[in-house]
Structure formats: C-alpha cells, structure tokens
Amino acid sequence: MVTLSAQGAPDVRALRAALDSAFAAPDYRWVDAPAAGRLLQRWWQRLGDWLVTLRADNPAAFRLLALGLLLALIVILAHAAYVVWRTIRGASGPSPDLPHGSRPERRDAAWYGRRADAAAAAGRAAEAIQLAFVGLALTLDASGLLQYQASKTPGECAREARVIEQDRERLRELVAALYGYAFGGRPCGLDDYHRWREASGLPWHAPAH
C-alpha cells in the first residue's frame, strides 16, 4: 500500500475553501429564472461594473453623472408636487366651465322662481309650475314650515307641511293643479301659471302652539 507522507498530504480545509470560492462565482449560480429576468440581471450587473470602472478611471465624469441623475430626480419630484398642487387647487376652486372668479349660482327659492318665469315665458307653463313648486317648497323649508328633500313628492310636501288648515287646503289645491297640468294632460297656459304663482306667493302661517 502506498501512503502519503504528512508533508505531502493535501490540506483538506484549504481545498474546500478554494472550491467554495470558485463555485461562489456568478457563473456557478444555477438559478431557474426566466430569460427576461436573467437578461435584466446581466444588464444590471454590467451597469454596476461600468459604474465601478468609471468611478475608478474617471472620477470627474462619475461625479457629473451622479449630479445629472440627482438633478433629474429633483425635477421629477418637483413635477409630481406641481401636479398634486394643481389637482388640489382645481378640486377646491370654481368649475372650469364658469368665467374666471365667478361662483356657481345658488339654487334657492329665488333661483327656481326665475327659472319658472323663464320657462313660462318660453311657452312651457306646465314645466314652469313644477319649477315654481320647488321654489315654494324651499320657501316653506326656509320658514321652518317644511323639511324639504328633493326625493319628496308634492303630495308628501302638502301632507307634511306645518301650516294652519286654511293654508294646508290652499297647498293641496296647488298640488292638485300641478298634478293636473304636469301629468293629467290638463291644458296650462301663461294665465294659469300666473294664477298658480299668485296663490303660492300668499303668506303661509304656522299653527298656533
């Protein structure tokens, strides 16, 4: 049997360390990754190697490149902040369809009254009475005589209005005329509209407590 002398015996630990170092190289990293991922990884590694080489060979160019990337990042962040500011300002400002500095007109009882008069003047008396009723309901709401909501029908408004019985009967007649003109096919002219508006414009009284 041939034996190795102690002097010629290989150092197992040194051999293992050399093998571990060799197989730790990127070429021996066997990873089942997609082709696109491997390509991007190689590009990233080459970019890193190129930057390291550039920093070692040409420090001035490396500093200029870093400064350019920093400026590009600042420009991107500034643009993002500007877009956010414009979005917040546009959401809190007036509608872009309105003239500069103007505000949307408040749709109160007076607004519906003007719209009703305009519709009546244009020959749409039945539509005008519907608009005028909304104005009447808002008037009663502002006086504390009705809790108006757009989802309520004219009949519901007439039942829930907190007015004296004489005014409630007048309100019922106005609602009946509205239903007749708007849905019952009853002819409605400009004179009918003016009579309806005159009756709705009389004072309304809360019941005595």
Query: Residue 3's pLDDT band (boundaries 50, 70, 90)?
Result: very low
- Model confidence over 129-145: pLDDT tens digits? 999 999 999 999 999 99
Higher pLDDT, 61 or 94: 61
Query: Residue 79's pLDDT band (boundaries 50, 70, 90)?
Result: confident
Instruction: Give the CA distances from residue 16 to residues 5, 11, 28, 104, in Å, rounded to whole numbers and listed in that order.
Output: 20, 9, 16, 82
Q: What 3-state class would DSSP assign to 29? A: coil
pTM (predicted TM-score): 0.51
Give me the residue spans of the domains in the chain.
40-95, 109-200
- Model confidence over 152-193: pLDDT tens digits? 899 999 999 999 999 999 999 999 999 998 888 889 899 999
Higher pLDDT, 128 or 5: 128
Q: What 3-state class would DSSP assign to 150? A: coil
